Structure 1
Amino acid sequence: MKNLRKIFVCIVWTLPFWSSAQLSADELYKELDHLVAKPTIENLQRLEGYCDNFNLTVKSSNQQLALVIARANLGYYFERYGDLSKSIDNYEDAYHRFKSNQLSDYNIYENAAVPLAAIYIRQGDYLKAEELLIQCASHAKDTADNSLLFNTVLSLSALYNSTSRYERSYLLINETLKKKGIPPSMAAVLKNNLATAYFRAGDFEKAKKLLSEIQVLAGVDLVNTYKSLAYIALKEAKAEEAMEYFEMAKSTLLNKENVSARDWVNLLVEESELLLELGYTLEAQNNLHKALSVLLPSHSGQDLPDETILFPERNFLRIFDIYAATTESVKDALRAYDLAFYVANLIQQDYTSQETKIIHQADIKHRTEKCLNLIWKHYSDSKDTNWAEKAFAYAEQGKASVLMEKMVLIGQNNEKASALENLQSKRDKITDQLLRAQFKNLDGNILDAFISELADIDWQIKKVRSNLPKMLRTELDLVELQQKLKSDEAVLQSYFLGEKSNYHFTIDNSGIRMYRLLETEELSPYILKFVHLFDSPEGINNDVPNFTKSAHELFEVLQLRYALRNNHLVLIPDGLLNFLPFESLLTEPTEGTSFSKMPFLAVSEKVAYAVNAQQYLTSKSNGGRKSVLGIFPIFKGSSEELSYSEEEAKALGGTMSTELVMESQATKNNFIKKAKNHDLIHLSTHAGSGDFIIPAFVQFYDDLLYLPELHSLDMSGKTIVLSACETGIGKLQKGEGAISVARGFQYAGASSVLFSLWKVNDQSTASLMSRFYKSLSTTTSVFASNHAAKLSYLQDENVPNSKKSPYYWNAFAYYGALDSYDKTNNNFWWWGTSLLFVGFLAIVFGFRKKLH
């Protein structure tokens, strides 16, 4: 009887789920109508449950379409209630279901794609938003759908404004406004976006003229118009006028029907920013608490919320950043910034492309600078190393974090992580194909096909990632770092270059110290002056006294003297310092012109570089004799011929067991195929740093290898030697460093990379590489051999003084483990001595035994 009762209870409990799974398309529409008639959170969740169960049995096209329409509406209502994660999930489901099942009779672009792109923009996922909007624009053009076109232009212009592409915004909106039949309300919002572009570009008069035109239109929403006028008044130092306009925006919003939670939170946050600018910190803070109470109904009181109840919403970033600026307590300010970092990391996890992630590193770096400024005041007064440790943790957490995330993924080595890695690789390959199609100005339908394929892969990436744990940033273990530095007999010097303030940290086994550098306005000219000396060989040789003066001045300005405690130095550059040949700096002033007698940093220190402390900490030596692949296109008979590259190949083949791939055989596909079988890859070729349109690349005999395709390759654990020009140069991204060929190989999994910082000389490079491989053949240490090759060249009496300028011998920087030749020799000596001693004891004891 008891069992029968249990069965009855189970049947009753599962009945609503079973019956909802058996719903017809018509019944699902009825549930949707119920939500539209009464859009409460309970009805919203009810429809979501029905959709989840309906999805289990859906088969026919009619059923699929019913589910598409229901999901699109769920996306709309979840956004209104402020749950952007669920809104995105439902919009994406609707869009991909519609496309994959080739459905019709529903405007999926208007009802799902455009609003989804608008949310992507709000969440900062600009690349995905642009890809989606390009598809919308193409469909609007093909179908002459003006309504879709206007809405697409509205979102695209908002995207361009958000990414500082104001000229594109001008052209797009002005061209659209020429069209006939634009509804007044749409014309108003388009003009408001145009005014925003002018305002952000600094043209206040054009912006005000447009906003005045909007104000006289009848029946249009003026909330954003008044807010824009308030910001302009603030920039023009008209505080009272700014507040008046904002009050008008506020009252206009409150008089609207069905004001969404999102609109109300946005207004509260924007008002807080305005109040902070005007010095009303208490009022700004009160507004922030109101906004938090809307976003987090479970949170109450005037304290900051616990991070466990936060979710990926960009308004949180603004709230916590403003809160930190309104409090006088350093502890509370840092707590607010910590919450902002936490939310930024949650948002970052939802991005599928590294390009989008990199864009947002600038915000993280800006926030980090504020944290360091707060901490410096206390550290400089107290010299308490706890403050220095805290500052170092902030400086490191946002440094090259996109690159490190990929390294962590590669290191996980499990089925789910491999599936995600394969999808990301596929995405990079398609991105490369899209890039090449754009260069060739191929048909728009081909571009659309690639963009559509990217959207489908993003959808798959999101599904796979949902089954993986969130890769939250972990704090660096400083004790472990110091132990490694002790083992490596090294000092680490890490730099942080901000918009205004600059710092560096010096760490060894004895402790950590924090120092403040010159402010950016003073520091940058020193760095740029020195870097530009390496634009050509004449830059140094034509004025040696100028070089020696600059080289020692910058050594002192960068406070490198604090790091000269051991023979090994690990440098973590930042900003412009990524392009600086540190080893060319002079540790003492000198008046001589003989380069071989100058006190270069390279003479006193063996230098290795790292993108951040975590990379150095986890770096491992690829010990043992290496299997080498040498790629030498040479380009004989062309204007790009590398005449000394052949000598370089002979030197490599003569010292190492190497597979040489020469001239016409040195194709891109041959490189990709053969690289799998070797653990050291030498590329002697041309390379380029790219620009704002063309990414960095490596040149092969038949083709270019652009960064996106390079990112898709598997270079796990390999050592890469890039004997080519500017392989360490690329577009500088705040927090992430130079997006260069060298970084491309690191992103593909290479454990160590040797690369160039300028257009290297063909002859001196061949000589350096010959010396490098001669050393490597006996030491197996890339780190030690790079250093030995430089000193060997500098001290070679057969090389004339004019060719001993650091332009010729110091182009190559090494990122990797400190697998030192000295340490190898010391270990060998220790073991050898130990074995001899054991042997000696054995003989002695054996002799004594015979005597007995």
Structure 2
Amino acid sequence: MKRILVFIFLFFLIQILSVTFSQDKNPKLRRANELYFLANPTEKDDREAIRLFGEVLNETPDKNEAPEFIQAAEHLGNLLLTYGNSSGAIQSYRQGIFWAHAYDYSDTLVYNHHLFLGEALFSQSEIDSSLSHLQEAERLQTQLNSLGEPERLYNALGVYFFETGNYIRSVSYFDKAQSYLSGERPEMELYAKYSFQSNKASALYHLGEYDSAQRIYNELLSFGINQDQIRINLANTYLQENEGEKALEILGQISINYQNGSLSFYNLKAKTQILSRFLDSALVTLNLGEKLIQEDSTQSRSFQEGIWKEVKGDYFRSLGQNENALSEYQKAIVQLLPGFENLDVTSNPTRFALGMSSLTVFEILRKKAETSWELYRENKDRAYFEIGLGAWESAFGLARFISVNFDNDKARVFLGEKVLGGYESAIDQLIGFAEKDEDETLIFKAFSWAELSKSEGLRIGALQESLKRKAGLPADLIQEEGNLLFEIFRNNQKQIGDVTPAVKAELTQEALDLEVQLSRLREKFRKYPGFGEDIEIGFDPKVLQKSLPDKAFLLSIFHSKSNLVVFGLENHSFSWSKIPTDSIPFVELNRWIQSITKEPMGNRFETDLAVAKFGASVFEKFEDQISDSRELIIVPQGIFNSLPFELLPFSDGQMLLEKTSVFYQFSAQFITSVKGIKKFNNPIGFAPFSESVAAGGFSILPRSNEELELVPGAKYFGKDATKKKFLAQAENADLVHLATHAVASSSDPNDAFIAFFPDDDDFRLSAPELAFQSLEGAKLIYLSACETGAGQLSRSEGFISLARSLAFAGAEQMVISQWVSEDRVAAYLAGKFYQNVGKGLTFSAALQEAKLELLQDESMAQYHHPFYWANFRMIGQPTEVNILSRWSYVVSFILIILAAGFWFGSKKWKRRMD
């Protein structure tokens, strides 16, 4: 093992003096260091050094001796690691850290201790402790500048986040590690680059970016380093693309010696053979792998042994031997999940800790669940159904746990996409059982899982942002986060323009540094009491059902590979229907949506016959409840987030818009009733481009000043409508109306922004900055700007849009636009909307009436095509019915009738008396 020379500490003069003094005083220590720094030590030399360091460190140093003892603790730890004594090394590193603190020496003296201790703890699967020490080394690295071992540190952090499933963050760290290679030692740095690039390719593989991973692996083959392992990894990418022949071709290029000693080779080859249905060959390969496992007794938990058990389960499942498969999957879970030891297949993990390959455990739990339910279908034994149900619940609980422990939205979105396949499989099968057994409770469970699958990353992220604001985090940390978000956005904007390759490289490096700083900062948030609590609490649809106001109806859409399932919920009933996926007219729906979202040549609009039939099939079972409702809550999923449901016709030909008021939600988990509002106490409005002169490259919006006419309170136009004023006032506003320009991004959601008046370079409010604001006091955000609800579409999370950023910021109700807006229509709808709110209508009803008034207004006939108005969408909450207010109207009406009756009666009685 290459010796780790600690040059970084030699600039402490007092330490140099104390080291000399200590070695003169302690000949054992001097001799141990001489042996440690030999250019070519033998094992005998190392063993003698270990003995001497051990004897020295059994003594307690005085303050002058402490620096040398601290270094000796590091040296002993390094030697013990060399000879496989991880527990002894861990103890030695900790001893060095203890002495540094006890004698009040600089933390930089134990930089290496923290780094090596973090690596050693990770090798022992002590995940949380490992991260703590690696992050302490990362903190110290900022003080050491170019000293220390930044390449090794950032690679270790990359490996940590890779193994705990945060692949996006791991890529950032691997890139940062490589950025510290100076090129001064090309031969040594070739190996470091190989390591960093190989790790990055593995992360890209797990992100499903197989082409990118393949490019890196093919480049690494030219390095001439560990080519057999690279071919293993390369073959794996082709296996994931179901290219079995290509995978087997690459596996055939691996040397015989490597094959015979590699469990990962046998695992991969067996997977490929099972995929290709070469089951006899797969069994031979698995037996060869088992022989390696039996020969290796060095680790109690081994990732590849866990994978071998999973593949053995796959083999039995392919043969139809599901009971054997179930047993192997259980063994794989025990092997891979720290803290879970129960080999009984009826047992499923309910408590989790971040461990190696958490997402792999999720996939094995999924296989266990599916296999259990296959056995239930075969044997009609209810016990297998319960095992499968428990395995699904465990898998989804693990997914929530992982998401809570991720620190950025991109990682949660990625996780949501990975987990969605499990929800699809589980819900399809659950509905099949419900239909066969006529068990309505299973449909309710399917509805619960459907909602858990939607926008779970948004729910967790928004809760964490809310807790961050409430948990008493120091203002300087909050401000630091805001500054970093701004710097990241500004860096992104600089990269958009034409820049030289040198500047581009500089900006790329800067972006990498900023992302790492932001991740490191957000880890600090998790150390504060109360931050992150209660986020893993599950969703109870029965509680939701009881909370729904009268006349509120929820329509939830869930699309799996087999079915489009539609759930209908109100406070006293639950119903559902399903539409086979192969009967959905996707081509016609897409064409219809495209025809609506592009400015028409004329005013003619027709609904395609296939689309009309689809709409009728969606609403068919729920027409009476919808028509009778006061508010309809639609919770779409995946591609159906793009569908303007208000335009879909009922069986009588009327649009949904004409039947009831409609608003949308990200998931039923977000729904909570709110009180109606007629008056705002602290409204603000901004119209940055209302002036007659264009600014900042944006066109003028001459009607935007009209939009704000009915907005009470402070209003800012033109050069007064700045980002600074918005940031200063938005937190205390209960109504925010923005009549401005916005830009969405379908490639990188972080590039989306809202434009204010360009009084300086910082006039764009980026999506990450917007999410960072505190808008929980706002009763309504009216975002009258183009494409504020559009963006990158995720099947599990919906649109990654500015509307999502508003939800992160705490906004519960918002009016947004799905595509480009026409200035005059935007002003018309806003004016009618506020008039209707003033009359006491709910927000959703106010928007519905505004649209209907537009369609009935002959002076606006040229804007009757849905392109102009169907883009405005309400994301909101059901409004509570004010019982006292409603009864006051009834009582008033009765009193008026009684008074009138008394008046007419008295008049009639008087005439008789006359």
- Please give the TM-score of this superposition, normalised by the length of structure 2: 0.79
Shift of 1:649: 1.6
Percent of residue pairs bearing the same amino acid type? 18
**Residue in 1 that maps onto 2:412:** 357
Say yes or no: does 1:26 pair with 2:67: no
1:151 to 170, 176, 195: 195
What is the DSSP-based 3-state SS (H/G/I as helix, E as strand, rest coil) of the residue aligned with 1:749?
Answer: coil
Q: For 1:323 and 1:245, how far apart are their aligned partners in 2? A: 23
The match for 1:321 among 366, 388, 391 is 366
CA gap 1:191/1:482 in 2 versus in 1, 3 angstroms: closer
Q: 1:270 to 1:203 in 2, by over 3 A?
A: closer
Go from structure 1 to structure 2 and tell me whether the alpha carbon gap of 1:751 and 1:251 turns closer, same or farther (over 3 Å shift): same
Deviations 1:811-849 (A, max 9, x none): 211112344899897476358669999999xxxxxxxxx
The answer on 1:224 being equivalent to 2:264 is: yes
Question: Pick from 422, 425, 429: which aligns with 1:370?
Answer: 425
Kindly state the Cα deviation for residue 771 of structure 1 after the two structures are TM-superposed: 1.8
Amino acid across the alignment from 1:302? D
- Residues 700 and 35 of structure 1: is their aligned pair in 2 closer, same or farther, counting only changes over 3 Å? same
The 1:409–1:212 alpha-carbon spacing in structure 2 relative to 1, beyond 3 Å, is: closer
Q: For 1:24-63, list aligned pairs within 5 A.
A: 24-29=69-74, 32=77, 35-36=80-81, 39=84, 43=88, 46-47=91-92, 50=95, 53-54=98-99, 56-57=101-102, 59-60=104-105
2:545 counterpart residue number: 482
Compared CA separation, residues 397 and 17, structure 1 to 2 (3 A): farther
What residue is the counterpart of 1:311 in the other structure?
Answer: 353
Per the alignment, residue 712 of structure 1 pairs with 772
Match of 2:217 among 173, 194, 200: 173
From 560, 563, 568, the counterpart of 2:631: 568
Residue number in structure 2 paired with 1:607: 662
CA pair 300-611 structure 1, distance change in 2 beyond 3 A: closer
Secondary structure of the corresponding residue to residue 721 of structure 1: strand
Equivalences for residues 617-656 of structure 1 within 5 A: 617=672, 619=674, 621=676, 624-626=679-681, 627-634=683-690, 636=692, 645-653=701-709, 655-656=710-711
SS for the counterpart of 1:517 is strand
Which protein shows a greater Rg?
2
CA contact (8 A) 1:96 1:456 kept: no
1:318 maps to amino acid: E
Picking from 856, 861, 866, the partner of 1:795 is: 856
How far is the alpha carbon of 1:755 from its aligned partner?
0.9
Structure 1 counterpart of 2:864, one-letter code: K
Shift in CA distance, 338/242, structure 1 to aligned 2, threshold 3 Å:
same
Relative to the length of structure 1, the TM-score reads: 0.84
Distance (Å, rounded) in 1 between the aligned partners of 2:838 and 2:250? 70
In 2: Cα distance, 1:607 partner to 1:418 partner: 41
Matches within 5 A, 1:230-309: 230-252=270-292, 255=295, 258=298, 261-294=302-335, 295=337, 299-305=341-347, 307=349, 309=351
Which residue is 2:868 aligned to? 808
Residue 210, structure 1, aligned to residue 210, structure 2: no
Distance 1:754 1:520, change over 3 A: farther
1:128 aligns with 2:169: yes
In the TM superposition, what whole-angstrom CA distance separates every residue of 1:581-614 from its partner, at most 9, and x where no partner exists? 1111111354xxxxxxxx2211110112111223
Between stretches 549-558 and 632-641, larger displacement belongs to 632-641
- Name the stretch that deviates more: 410-419 or 141-150: 410-419
Shift of 1:296: 5.2
3-state SS, counterpart of residue 810 of structure 2: coil
User: Which residue identity does 1:261 align to in structure 2?
Assistant: S
Secondary structure (helix, strand or coil) at the match of 1:476 reads: coil
CA drift of 1:773 comes to: 2.7
Answer whether contact 2:167 2:204 (CA < 8 A) is retained: no
Whether the 8 Å CA contact 1:776–1:785 is kept in 2: the answer is: yes
Total equivalences in the alignment = 805
Structure 2: where are the runs of 5+ without partners? 1-56, 376-383, 901-914
Once the two structures are TM-superposed, the CA of residue 743 in structure 1 deviates from its matched residue by 1.5
Question: Which secondary structure does the structure 1 equivalent of 2:736 belong to?
Answer: strand
SS at match of 2:634: strand
Give the structure 1 partner of residue 649 of structure 2. Answer: 586
1:746 aligns with 2:807: yes
1:25: Cα distance to partner? 0.6
1:847 corresponds in structure 2 to: none
Match of 1:535 in 2: 597
* CA 30–246 in structure 1, closer or farther in 2 if over 3 Å, else same: same
User: By how many angstroms is 1:534 displaced?
Assistant: 0.8
The C-alpha deviation readout for 1:402-442, integer Å capped at 9, x for no partner, is 22224434554633467786676555444424433443554
- State the alpha-carbon separation in 2 of the partners of residues 129 and 465 from structure 1: 19
C-alpha change, 1:385 and 1:233, in structure 2 (3 Å) is: closer
Aligned-residue CA RMSD (Å): 3.8
CA contact (8 A) 1:648 1:767 kept: no
- Distance between the aligned counterparts of 1:17 and 1:286, measured in 2? 52
Contact 2:333 2:365 in 1 (8 A): no
* 73-82 vs 128-137, greater mean Cα deviation: 73-82
Paired residues of 1:713 and 1:748 also in contact (CA < 8 A)? yes
Q: Which residue of 2 aligns with 1:8?
A: none
Is 1:727–2:788 an aligned residue pair? yes
Work out which of the residue numbers 568, 580, 586 in structure 2 matches 1:506: 568
State the SS of the aligned residue for 2:253.
helix
- Quick one: structure 1 residues 754 and 278, their matched pair in 2 at CA, closer, same or farther if it must change by over 3 Å? farther
1:76 aligns with 2:119: yes
Match of 2:207 in 1: 163
Residue 782 of structure 1 is matched in structure 2 by 843
2:753 pairs with one of 673, 697, 718: 697
CA contact (8 A) 1:784 1:821 kept: no
DSSP 3-state at the match of 2:575 = strand
Residue 16 of structure 1, CA deviation: 11
Partner residue of 2:820? 759
| Secondary structure of 1:360 counterpart | helix
Instruction: Give secondary structure in 2 for the equivalent of 1:798.
Output: helix
- Match of residue 131 from structure 2: 88
Structure 1: stretches of 5+ with no match in the other structure: 1-14, 591-598, 841-852
3-state SS of paired residue (2:250): helix
Q: In 1, distance between residues paired with 2:414 and 2:246?
A: 29
Aligned to 2:555: 493
* Structure 1 letter corresponding to 2:154: A
Give 3-state SS (helix, strand or coil) of 2:308's partner.
helix
Structure 2: which amino acid aligns with 1:649?
Answer: N
Shifted more, 22-31 versus 823-832: the winner is: 823-832
Could you tell me whether the CA contact under 8 Å between 2:369 and 2:388 is conserved in 1? yes
Q: Does the CA contact (< 8 Å) of 2:565 and 2:579 recur in 1?
A: yes
What are the superposed Cα offsets for residues 271-313 of structure 1, whole Å, 9 maximum, x if unpaired? 3344434534233222233334444577344145464553223
Contact 2:663 2:873 in 1 (8 A): yes
Change (3 A) 1:810 1:739: same
Where does 1:401-550 land on structure 2 (aligned, <5 Å)? 401-412=456-467, 414-416=470-472, 425=482, 428-440=485-497, 442=503, 444-466=505-527, 467-468=529-530, 470-487=533-550, 489-519=551-581, 522=584, 524-525=586-587, 527-538=589-600, 541-542=603-604, 544=606, 546-547=607-608, 550=611
Give the direction of change, closer, same or farther, for the CA distance of 1:585–1:284 in structure 2 (3 Å limit): same
